[in-house]
Amino acid sequence: MDRDCGVASPRSIYPMPPVADYETNDLLVRQVEGVTIVRVRYPNLDGLLEIQRITAELDALLARGVRKLVFDFKYVTHAGSAALGLLIALQRKIDARGGTLVLSHAERVEELLTVSRTASLFKRAPDPRAAFKMF
């Protein structure tokens, strides 16, 4: 399993465990210096049940106070309209809380964002390391 979201932190130098790292069947979640990195574990992000579970998990993160979020598509090869709905809703929720969302490995969903004419709604980065620098 990929536990490394590609962002080095001072914690990796010292023998302190990272705070709030966990996994679900759908996501890998890592907290690095106030930034939450959420990596989707599915290659096809178009199933309604998966989208509902991911949405519930993201809502729980926001309810716990997450305001800096990287949503990472590293393993995603296809994303459908349900994923687009999830992203638009997530962006609105984070905006309402004064937070920031960055899509990482956004090239995986670039076609979806372009065809739907929603690309301008999202900050995008090539990987979590670059996304981390956008906060």
Predicted confidence (pLDDT) per residue in 52-86, tens digit? 999 999 999 999 999 999 999 999 999 999 999 99
pLDDT band of 4, cuts 50, 70, 90? low
The model carries a pTM of: 0.83
Architecture of domain 10-132: 2-Layer Sandwich (3.30)
Each residue of 9-29: pLDDT tens digit? 444 443 333 346 999 999 999
Between CA 109 and CA 113 the distance in angstroms is 6
What is the torsion angle, in degrees rounded to the nearest 10, for the CA atoms of residue 29, residue 31, residue 36 and residue 37? Answer: -50
Whole-number pLDDT of residue 64: 93
Whole-number pLDDT of residue 20: 62
One-letter amino acid at 120 equals S
Whole-number pLDDT of residue 42: 87
With a pLDDT cut of 90, the percent of the chain lying above it is: 82
pLDDT at 89 over 50: yes
Output the CA–CA distances (angstroms, integers) from residue 30 to 43, 47, 115, in the order listed.
Answer: 19, 24, 31
Residue whose entry in the numeric block shows the structure tokens 């984070």: 94
Each residue of 30-59: pLDDT tens digit? 999 999 999 999 899 999 999 999 999 999
